[in-house]
Chain A
């Protein structure tokens, strides 16, 4: 039986359920489809093997991975968040010994350092540090990816989580396009985020579930939108629930404490709590400055919430304005307010968009769709 190996920088365990949990969802689905998949986490620490939900996880450094690959033949090695260390084991094999390789490109590992500029403009030392890392970290990673995409001694395919992520972020960063690539989105789990029909009153209930750890999550825009909405006559009819945690939570939400209808829930929201929150709301206010896909928006759509967000990065590939959600330009608070205003004034459209959103996102990124495409890439089409 053919064996497959997944290598990543992290994998969920009982101690850390949410560390790259989307990888576990994939591995379980591959197993359900009959693939034998082993998992290795690249680490410099000495960690004993762990077992999580039927998956055996091994922890190795790059040299151990090299020995392991010499001793174990895999048809395909799948890599997530690839870097030179992770690839060392492949390079240590002769050309004839090398397995097929699939590299998933998710985000930060394949983007220009300056795309998230707002995350290091808090103070000068942050900016200086980013500029230092430009030469020591970001540039070597770029060179590594460029080489990986142009080498002719590898049987390698690349998977991008969205077309726009590839075209807007990765391609111009690396400067080349690999010969073999496929666009496959991250899974939006329809079993967990089940569609729940919304009524007209649900459009008055607006939630936001975002990390408050960095400015790309644009929670400051959420706060500005609410403040602008407070000038509307119908504001008191609206109810907002803001969930999340991080160093920016208090800074950003302090100004919202004046509103009785804005409820602040500071704390990390576990994934299994999210569907319950989705069930109680009709609009997902999730502005963004940077997204390769926008998974949390997709999950809300799957549950039947209408997303209100920005037309940046990969997001417009999943949300069609006024059909499956509401899109505003980058950082455009007024347009976002107008979009919520539109939903308030058009309850029928809201209900239609709610249904459309769920159907559309499941068609694009539902479990079956994604896994079938991935298995096709992993198993077939190798020369």
Chain B
């Protein structure tokens, strides 16, 4: 009895310490974000004067949001961003999971070569590819200023990392026996993949979806190279209107940031369930 009590007490203390550590770290992590929120409701003057004040001397203002929406052409940019991010993310996941599967399950030379190239390519600084990319697709093929081009480029650039992540997941957590059983039952490789393997990859799919969707949604450099027309602008390009060498309207920038990040936050909260679900469903057993 005494033993149990002691153990329970020890557990409580550990729990308390864990919680305290988490809360402190949490505050440190969240602090800059809180600053963005409070400053989005202030004038530029008030931000410089006292960034920590909850309400600036010009009062609580919403004009940053209305101005930002107007200047960014919000509805158009938002639709563009949404379309490009959604389509790119879906195709990246589908293609890279398939690629990873064929690489993991076969010891073919082509697979090894592709995988090595992909890994190496993740290390290429984007600046190296920037000018050649626009020279090829703008100067020679003339296919810039199109959303489809951007989507295909997004997919091309993100395949490597997504494949790399699926590679790890398939290698360690998809039991070969399940697939062999399905093959014996008369399934083709293609059917086995979609019926057995892909559903089991849910936690990784959710992770890749978040990481890639976030990368696409926030990417500035590539879209700014590909989309040179205002009606094609995505949110990050539209936000550039507030940045300057000699002056930057921080209130507007922060309001724009908040407007732009909400969808990703919602997506994250939604997908997080799947990361957890992947375990509780207990599908993965050795």
Q: Do A and B bind each other?
A: no
B residues adjacent to A (C-beta < 8 A):
none
A residues adjacent to B (C-beta < 8 A):
none
